[in-house]
Structure 1
Amino acid sequence: MNEEEIVQYFKCQLQEDTNVATAVAAIKTLLEFLKRDTGKDYDKCKKMMSERGELFLKRISMSRNKITTLCCPFIKDGAKILTHAYSKVVLKVLEEAAASKNFSVYVTESQPDLSGKIMAEALRNRNVPVTLILDAAVGYIMEKVDLVIVGAEGVVESGGIINKIGTNQMAVCAKAQNKPFYVVAESFKFVRLFPLNQRDVPDKFKYKADTQQQDLLEEHPWIDYTSPSLITMLFTDLGVLTPSAISDELIKLYL
């Protein structure tokens, strides 16, 4: 595949997914650089990117280990825990806690992709007692649980989170019944967004479909926004944070 074919390929992808627009621009810039380069700098750059990629993967693993260490003491013996969808960080926390404590987990099936079923199966494979429940049963089951633990696809500047659709309603139910709502997330998921409600979250994050060509009234959102007022604490590799402390950490990360 030559350079023109590569650019054309990414342009075609825009018809299905508008989020690759930056990738198209990046590929064009990279190709221009490669045409002018003698090869020496490119090899050096390639090696550096590979090394930093490996370092990034190691830091992800270390981040999850630290989050697990911080969160496990909040899971008591005999606890009943509610979680939502599939999260590698939540899975890591529950697996580690199960090594020394007895507790049970309720997992929502998490429509429309049923990722909760994947989470439930993963917990069973780790010998963690788990019950799969309907998304609509969150309010019913909340009075039985002791705490809620969820992951996050993004942690925004306000201290709120963007996560799988259904997270917000779970947080609302937890707040109404005075149950702690904990979030576990790596710091690389901190994003510079400040939504105040569901409408403020960009459509390109909400939908799987092409937001430029589809009638979004016919599409179901895949994520929702949970406000900081509904979150008890966030467990991150930067420490245990209150929602109000997230802004300070973002300033440190981006300035």
Structure 2
Amino acid sequence: MTLSAIAQEPIVEEPSSSDPFDIYSAYRRILSNENVAVPLAAILALSELVEKSRAGTMFELVEDLNKGAEALRQRSSNPIGINAGSELFIAFVTLFPHESESFVDLKTELVKQGRRYAQEALTYRDKIAALTLGFIKDDSVILTHSYSRVVMQALLLAHQRKRISVYVTEARPGGLGIRTCDALTAVGIPCTVVLDSAVAYVMDKVDIVLVGSEAVVESGGLINAMGSNQMAIIAKAANKPFYAVAESYKFHRLFPLSQYDLPTHTADILAFPRSSKRPAASVPRPSVALMKSIPTPALSRTSSTFMSELPGSTMTPEQRKRNPEVDYTRPDLISLVFSDVGILTPEGVSQYLVGMFAG
């Protein structure tokens, strides 16, 4: 189903008034629609909370919304999108003109406005794709990262008007780059999956780098799938433009100074496993027999094939937990940000955020 068709249908079902309201269940139900991004799901879940809330004053309503947003954050390993959507909706509620005859009518209007905004926001990817098209030349080779719905929209539109080829990183450990490659190949776009560790190797062959975003922060920097930062650093060194695409509901009042300022960073990220209590001398070394049992690669076999046969050549679930899901890209590494509110420099994002939350 196309975005325009979805925009004409309700994003969410009307919640039952007889059941106790669980905001996280509502959020998960809304997010099951693949076209709804995390910030929009948070906005719609908070809209349902307004509908269910027994608050009789604006102060009580905002308090309920803050508690609801916190409940969503507590149950998510990556609350960045939830934070962006929640702060946008709560700011809207706070600044909404109180012209209704009663507080009940005001809450009804807030719910309508929240759902109306979410429906309109489904069209933002089309606007961004149209803006991006002017920066993609015919016969362009594009490097992208992982899987992004708005990047996909831009690439599909470019494919309709121009000839393009795409490299996409595999984006381990989730491997979402494979999904991107399959989707692009299905519509006839030449696409090749690139190892995450081969970004520098392929950079000389590309014309532009185009990535999505989980959030664009107040500094003008970018939070996106792990590996975006190193891609931007390499693009800068190779003098290749690094473009980010982001819907305005992903603009987030956060000012990280480093990777470790992100809300996703915890003490477990990149932590070393606890060492054994046994003295080092008592730890057995691999036996000669064990070392000889590892097969020697034949000349006809690639090193990747050989490594895939070795025990422990893929990450365990515990190892994956110790690795971050997203990283932060500094604004000086970003050429432009394409959004539904226009083509912005990183400095322009900062100015827009100040105006958006200033009322």
TM interval, short-chain normalised: 0.7 to 0.9
Q: CA deviation at 1:64?
A: 1.4
Alignment of 1:30-49 (within 5 A): 33=55, 45=107, 49=111
How far apart, in 2, do the equivalents of 1:146 and 1:108 lie?
Answer: 15
Alignment of 1:116-135 (within 5 A): 116-135=177-196
Matched, 1:232 2:294: no
Aligned alpha-carbon RMSD (Å): 3.0
2:205 aligns with: 144
2:309 aligns with: none
1:90 aligns with: 151
Is contact 1:181–1:230 with CA below 8 Å preserved after alignment? yes
Q: Residues 72 and 220 from structure 1, CA distance in 2 versus in 1: closer, same or farther, beyond 3 angstroms?
A: same
Q: CA deviation at 1:122?
A: 1.4
How far apart, in 1, do the equivalents of 2:322 and 2:112 lie?
Answer: 38
Aligned pair partner of 1:193 in 250, 254, 258: 254
Q: What is the identity percentage for the equivalent residue pairs of Structure 1 and Structure 2?
A: 44
1:157 aligns with: 218
Is contact 1:60–1:186 with CA below 8 Å preserved after alignment? no
1:57 aligns with: 119
Q: Residues 31 and 75 from structure 1, CA distance in 2 versus in 1: closer, same or farther, beyond 3 angstroms?
A: closer
Provide the TM-score with structure 2 as the length reference: 0.57
Q: Which has the larger radius of gyration?
A: 2
Q: Residues 148 and 30 from structure 1, CA distance in 2 versus in 1: closer, same or farther, beyond 3 angstroms?
A: same
Q: CA deviation at 1:33?
A: 4.4
2:323 aligns with: 220
2:138 aligns with: 77
Q: Residues 44 and 106 from structure 1, CA distance in 2 versus in 1: closer, same or farther, beyond 3 angstroms?
A: same
Q: Residues 185 and 193 from structure 1, CA distance in 2 versus in 1: closer, same or farther, beyond 3 angstroms?
A: same
How far apart, in 2, do the equivalents of 1:47 and 1:157 lie?
Answer: 30
- CA deviation profile, 1:105-124 (whole Å, cap 9, x unmatched): 00001012111111111111
SS where residue 76 of structure 1 aligns?
coil
SS where residue 172 of structure 1 aligns?
helix
Q: CA deviation at 1:196?
A: 1.4
- CA deviation profile, 1:53-81 (whole Å, cap 9, x unmatched): 243222231x2122111110111111110
How far apart, in 2, do the equivalents of 1:32 and 1:58 lie?
Answer: 28
1:246 aligns with: 349
SS where residue 99 of structure 1 aligns?
helix
Q: Residues 73 and 136 from structure 1, CA distance in 2 versus in 1: closer, same or farther, beyond 3 angstroms?
A: same
- CA deviation profile, 1:187-242 (whole Å, cap 9, x unmatched): 1100001111111212xx34xxxx5xx83326110000000010011111111111
Matched, 1:175 2:236: yes
Provide the TM-score with structure 1 as the length reference: 0.79
Q: Residues 225 and 6 from structure 1, CA distance in 2 versus in 1: closer, same or farther, beyond 3 angstroms?
A: closer
The residue type paired with residue 346 of structure 2 is P
- CA deviation profile, 1:141-182 (whole Å, cap 9, x unmatched): 001111100011000111100000000000000001000000
Runs of 4+ in 1 over 6 A off after TM superposition: 40-44
How far apart, in 1, do the equivalents of 2:187 and 2:108 lie?
Answer: 39
Q: What runs of 5+ residues in structure 1 fail to find an aligned partner?
A: 11-19, 35-39
- CA deviation profile, 1:95-144 (whole Å, cap 9, x unmatched): 00111111100000101211111111111122211111111110100011
SS where residue 74 of structure 1 aligns?
coil
Q: What runs of 5+ residues in structure 2 fail to find an aligned partner?
A: 1-17, 27-41, 57-101, 272-320
Alignment size in residue pairs: 227
SS where residue 139 of structure 2 aligns?
coil
- CA deviation profile, 1:21-63 (whole Å, cap 9, x unmatched): xx9xx97x956549xxxxx9779846752563243222231x2
1:15 aligns with: none
The residue type paired with residue 172 of structure 2 is Q
SS where residue 252 of structure 2 aligns?
coil
